[in-house]
Amino acid sequence: MTNVVLGANTLEEYLKGVNAAAVIGRVANRIAKARFTLDGVEYKLAANNGPNHIHGGSVGFAKVNWQATALPAGKREAAVQFTYLSKDARKVSGQSDGQGDLHALTDDK
């Protein structure tokens, strides 16, 4: 077995802020002045990049512990599914926000 993950060697290192191999979420860019308007309602977000909001705020998806589930492996492939239930979505939308990320490795070229 070969380690193919770019980044830290331990969970503790990731939680300290290693950005390599991070999952960006809910927003993969900056939101100017940490606010936006949707259907006439203005939403204020955490300002974590000067006056702006970037990559999901001060506790984005890269800073939480995801549940990993190994998926059935084939003869020449392996896959894992990561899931996370974001309770912070209630601050904006009034409901929880389930997220998922699937990674598969094959020897296909």
**Location of structure tokens 């979505």:** 89
Confidence band of 16 (pLDDT split at 50, 70, 90)? confident
**Beta strand extents in the chain (DSSP E only):** 30-31, 35-38, 41-44, 53-54, 67-74, 77-86, 97-106
16: left (phi over 0), alpha (psi -120 to 50) or beta: alpha
pTM over 0.95: no
Average pLDDT, rounded, for the chain:
75
pLDDT in tens, 60-70: 777 777 788 88
